[in-house]
A and B are shown apart, each in its own frame.
Chain A
Amino acid sequence: MLDLVIINGQAKGIIARNLVTGEIERFGAHAVVLATGGYGNTYFLSTNAMNSNGSAAMQAYRKGAFFANPCFAQIHPTCIPVHGDQQCKLTLMSESLRNDGRIWVPKKMEDVMKLRKHEIKASQIPEEDRDYYLERRYPAFGNLVPRDVASRAAKERCDAGYGVNETGLAVFLDFADAIKRLGHQRVEERYGNLFQMYEKITSSSPWEEPMMIYPAIHYTMGGLWVDYDLQTTIPGLYAIGEANFSDHGGNRLGASALMQGLADGYFILPYTIGDYLSHKFAEPKTDINAPEFAEAEKAVKERIAKIFAVKGTETVDSIHKKLGHIMWEYVGMARNEEGLKKGIEEIGKLREEFWKTVRVPGTNEEFNQELEKALRLVDFFDIGELMARDALNRKESCGGHFREEMQTEEGETKRDDENFMYVAAWEYKGEGVAPELHKEDLKYENIKIATRNYKD
């Protein structure tokens, strides 16, 4: 989908590119539902599928749908660590592994150094020299603290120098105790497929040595703002699943993404969309020859032509990788005011670089994945910038959004409920113009608001 078509203020159709032939096509309807997922691939390296992108949401945003809480991105603690700069995809190891796996780093720096030089193996480090830091810091939840907490704790240990691989950016996830307690067969029943996947990727067997893991971008809680009926600020445009912002706040719990996607798709949207459509059945089918369609199609074709016209020297991926570095560095696991401002500046520069140096081979009228990627990258620049702006505005630490200026003495998130207990919904104001912030206050009438505590 390359554009949303709005007629008389209502969503009436889309412009899409046929991925096989390149044809730009018009589709009309009485309502449009976006189930287009999250924008985690802004970071280039993430656990998202390579195809996942935020373009549909961005087209809707540019046409007037508000974008809520873009800075809330989830960093998953148990991914296979980055192993080099030629990598384009990260692999998740399921959180379920934390049911029985124990996360640790060595207590002694000398053991860390030996591990990095491959002089010893993890299994040779005696029990008393291991720091099971999640169990130490959060006795009540132990290895099953939420993802944002586990990710930050891993970063804290690695920043302190205890990372266990050559890059210093990895911790152990150990199954030795589980294998001893449950036996080989029970562990295999529970995690056999995951062990196999890990071994295939790393050629190290989790049966013999602990897995090495590190946090990576996994999910985005932010998304298009929707009301209780899952309708965006554009009448007739709905957003469901990861594409909307509605259910996970600052951090999503494991196994809740599928729950939300299916809840929205099976049991909520089919009812709520009826309320809108009940006023529409007398309307004729949307005419795709309407001037609004022609205009949107023309804009899409111009955008594509503009990309081909650059004729530079850089591949789309090489520029996207740079965006990923900027995002991870300045809008990643720990953010601060100075860094976020720098990030916005760097994204702006990179966007200019893209429009001067990108090269997309081939033509539009064919199967052209480089073109698909280029179109998506144009949107990732804007999403990245919006994330940084939102992160800059939210001067509190909350869930996956960690502002270094706002932390407790123990390094935990420090919320500011007085000033930030709201949904930040951003309205597009035009290219190169700062978006406008709208606030939806959050009211807690049934739950006592408290500081999250996973210690006792």
Chain B
Amino acid sequence: MSDPKLISKIPDGPLAEKWSKRKAEIRIVSPNNKRKLEVIVVGTGLGGASAAASLGELGYNVKIFCISDSPRRAHSIAAQGGINAAKNYQNDNDSIYRLFYDTIKGGDYRSREANVYRLAEVSAAIIDQCVAQGVPFAREYGGYLANRSFGGVQVSRTFYARG
């Protein structure tokens, strides 16, 4: 039994439907009320910047805090490797389930199934979002997005930028 102070709020139901279910249950705030609300975001790396931008676009008043000269100096901006997504562009039998499975296994079975499945589920949308914003991902000669592999994985699902 988990400690009663730790209520994980993981929705019931099949793994693949948990996030959809939660999203349907979640209350939302109407646009005219969003502008009455303030949110502080501390940190301007990829997580903080994407959260602040999204909350700002939604209409919340966002205050953002940065410890560097510019958000461009954030540590995640300096990442060299790339970003995973279960797009299966290489036709190498990748899938949401496989990314989920690789992540749980790679983490040596100490992470939450529901959270990791959701991560794999939304991964594809991240690439679409980034491409739409103009992220200069590496591309093949024909113009398709390029992929490479990382450890603990037998498919090629990492999107990256050429230096």
Contact = CB atoms under 8 A, between A and B. Distances in A.
Contact of A144 (B78, B151, B162): B151
Interface in B113-144: 113-119, 122-123, 125-126, 129-130
Contact of B26 (A221, A263, A271): A271
Given A96-B82, A251-B108, A264 B43 contact: no
A339 interface: no
A286 B38 contact: yes
Contacts of A334: none
A171 B113 CA distance: 36
B162 A193 contact: yes
A449 interface: yes
Contacts of A254: 81, 84, 150-153, 158
Interface in A68-123: 69, 72, 92-96, 98-99
A251 B107 CA distance: 4
Nearest to B107: A249
B33 interface: yes
- For chain B, the bracket of interface size reads 35 or more
A99 B79 CA distance: 17
A280 B35 CA distance: 12
Contacts of A243: 43, 47
A214 interface: no
A418 interface: no
Nearest to B86: A259
A203 interface: no
Nearest to B18: A228
A221 B111 CA distance: 10
Interface in A249-270: 249-270
B162 A447 contact: no
A149 B153 CA distance: 13
Given A254-B152, A285-B38, A421-B109, A29 B63 contact: yes
B9 A141 contact: no
B156 to A, nearest CB: 9
A266 B116 contact: no
Interface string A47-58: 011011100100
A247 interface: yes
A251 to B, nearest CB: 5
A443 B113 contact: yes
Q: Which of B5, B48, B84, B129 has the most CB of A within 10 A?
A: B48
Nearest to A447: B104
Contact of A225 (B6, B26, B150): B6
Given A262-B83, A440-B6, A144 B152 contact: yes
**B15, B44, B79, B150 pick with most chain A CB within 10 angstroms:** B150
Nearest to B30: A281
B48 to A, nearest CB: 3
Contacts of B43: 34-37, 56, 241, 243
Contact of B152 (A146, A233, A269, A449): A146
B149 interface: yes
Given A33-B48, A260-B119, A281-B37, 14 more contacts: A37-B76, A48-B75, A144-B150, A144-B152, A228-B9, A251-B108, A255-B81, A256-B119, A263-B122, A271-B28, A398-B110, A423-B6, A439-B3, A452-B108
Interface of A: 1, 13-14, 16, 19, 27-37, 48-49, 51-53, 56, 66, 69, 72, 92-96, 98-99, 140-141, 144-150, 189-190, 192-194, 196, 221, 225, 227-229, 233, 240-243, 246-275, 277-281, 285-286, 398-399, 413, 415, 417, 421-423, 425, 427, 438-447, 449-450, 452, 454
15 contacts: A27-B40, A93-B80, A96-B160, A98-B151, A99-B149, A247-B103, A252-B107, A259-B83, A262-B47, A262-B50, A268-B122, A280-B37, A281-B33, A422-B2, A444-B113
Nearest 10 interchain pairs by C-beta: A249-B107, A193-B163, A241-B47, A265-B50, A35-B48, A254-B150, A249-B111, A35-B43, A146-B152, A249-B110
